Amino acid sequence: MNNKRRKRRKRRQQRSPYAPGNWPTWLGLGLLRLITLLPVPWLHRIGRGLGLAIYTLLPSRRRVARINLRLCLPELDDKERERLVRETFASSAIAVFEGILAWWGSNRRIAKLYTVEGKEHLEAARADGRGVILLGGHYTTLEISGRFFGPHVKGIYPIYKPAKNPVVEKVMVNARKRYFDGLLLNSDLRTVVRYLRQGNATWYAPDQDFGRRETVFAPFMGIPAASLTATAKLARLGRARVLPFYSERLPNGRYLVRIAPPLENFPSGDDLADATTINRVIEQQVRRTPEQYLWIHKRFKTRPLGEPPLYDR
Give the whole-angstrom CA distance, residue 14 versus residue 142.
Answer: 29
**Which residues form the domain of 203?**
114-292
Residues in the chain: 313
DSSP element (H, E) containing 255: strand 255-259
Under DSSP, the state recorded for 114 is E
The reply to whether 45 falls in a domain is no
Our CA angle for 217, 220, 223, nearest 5°, is: 75
The reply to whether 63 falls in a domain is no
Query: Alpha helix locations (H) across 150-244?
Result: 166-179, 189-197, 230-237
- Regions in the chain scoring below 70 on pLDDT: 1-14, 313
- The whole-model pTM stands at 0.91
Which residues are within 8 A (CB) of 91 and not within 5 positions of it... i.e. 6 or more apart?
51, 140, 249, 291, 292
Give the whole-angstrom CA distance, residue 160 versus residue 173.
Answer: 9
Centre a 10 Å sphere on the Cβ of residue 197 and count the other Cβ atoms it contains: 14
The reply to whether 200 falls in a domain is yes
Give the whole-angstrom CA distance, residue 291 versus residue 286.
Answer: 8
Cβ 200 vs Cβ 131: under 8 Å: yes
Give the whole-angstrom CA distance, residue 86 versus residue 79.
Answer: 11
> How much is the pLDDT for 15?
74
The reply to whether 203 falls in a domain is yes
The reply to whether 299 falls in a domain is no
Structurally, the chain folds into a number of domains equal to 1
Strand partners, 102: none
The reply to whether 135 falls in a domain is yes
pLDDT tens for residues 182-216? 999 999 999 999 999 999 999 999 999 999 999 99
> How much is the pLDDT for 13?
47
HSE-CB for 22 with a 13 A CA cutoff? 17
The reply to whether 31 falls in a domain is no
Our CA angle for 160, 165, 168, nearest 5°, is: 65
HSE-CB for 82 with a 13 A CA cutoff? 5
The reply to whether 271 falls in a domain is yes
Our CA angle for 298, 291, 117, nearest 5°, is: 110
